Amino acid sequence: MLNAALPRQPASGVLYLHGFNSGAASPKAALMRAACAALGLPCAAPDLPHRPDGALNEAEDRLAELGACPLVVGSSLGGFLATVLAERHGLPAALINPAVAPARLMAGWIGEAFINPYHGQRFMVEAAHRRALEAMTPGRLTPAHYLLLLGTADETLDCRDAFACYRGARMILQPGGDHGFSVLADYLPAIFAHGGHALEAGRVAPRG
């Protein structure tokens, strides 16, 4: 386990941002809510719109409800959105297998139809998705903001891209870890330490 330096003040709450075509009922979102409940911290884990600009607007709205210095946690495309917020507002962020170049990834899905497995919404990826991601991509990154959790066997994203893009940030590499990062419960103490809070190991268990 890495020895993460703590921010100047403990996080005032936690905003969890799910990945593309996921939702607030996902296992990772449930874990984050449970961990926050154990610490008595405010937590927001909203269902985000499939359009990236709409998702970012929703995230900004929820961020404003969480006090002066929340911790932002994001998975996959949510990790990208968490990065946008961290750079805009100077916030600590924990990123789980973050999407590094989501506009490029989305370009390969234009015209493809999806059904959200958590709430059943049907939608199609359009060129507007890619343009929105391009427009919000930060021009530079501040490594000190970030803790990255990367699975070396991510079947969707190459962890080497994130390793290079966020060079200088605190990182945890999980050997054989998948894109869903199914061992997230084991790393909750590290995530909350990045936000200045001490969570006892094993205090929050995954469902199922």
What pLDDT, in 10s, does the model give residues 136-182?
999 999 999 999 999 888 888 888 999 999 999 999 998 887 788 88
d(CA 21, CA 104): 17
pLDDT of residue 157: 87
User: How much is the average pLDDT of 64-75?
Assistant: 95
| Cα distances (angstroms) measured from residue 23 to each of 16, 28, 76, 85, 94 | 10, 10, 12, 19, 18
pLDDT of residue 8: 60
User: How much is the average pLDDT of 183-201?
Assistant: 94
**What are 190's two structure tokens?**
């590290």
| For residue 45, pLDDT beyond 80 | yes
User: How much is the average pLDDT of 56-68?
Assistant: 95
pLDDT of residue 158: 84
pLDDT of residue 202: 75
| For residue 124, pLDDT beyond 70 | yes
| For residue 112, pLDDT beyond 90 | yes
The domain 14-194 having CATH identifier 3.40.50.1820: the answer here is yes
pLDDT of residue 182: 87
CB atoms under 10 Å from CB of 202, counted, come to 10
pLDDT grade, residue 4 (50/70/90)? very low
User: How much is the average pLDDT of 72-87?
Assistant: 97
User: How much is the average pLDDT of 43-50?
Assistant: 96
pLDDT of residue 206: 66
**What are 146's two structure tokens?**
């970030």
| For residue 54, pLDDT beyond 80 | yes
pLDDT grade, residue 207 (50/70/90)? low
| Closest among 186, 180, 181, 182 to 200, alpha carbons compared | 186
Pick the more confident residue, 152 or 12.
12
- The continuous run of DSSP H or E covering 170 comes out as strand 170-174
| Cα distances (angstroms) measured from residue 127 to each of 94, 106, 137, 176 | 29, 8, 16, 34
pLDDT of residue 3: 38
Alpha-helical (H) ranges within 3-101 are: 27-39, 52-63, 77-89
pLDDT of residue 196: 95
d(CA 100, CA 122): 25
| Closest among 143, 158, 102 to 125, alpha carbons compared | 102
Average pLDDT, the chain: 91
d(CA 106, CA 121): 18
pLDDT grade, residue 94 (50/70/90)? very high
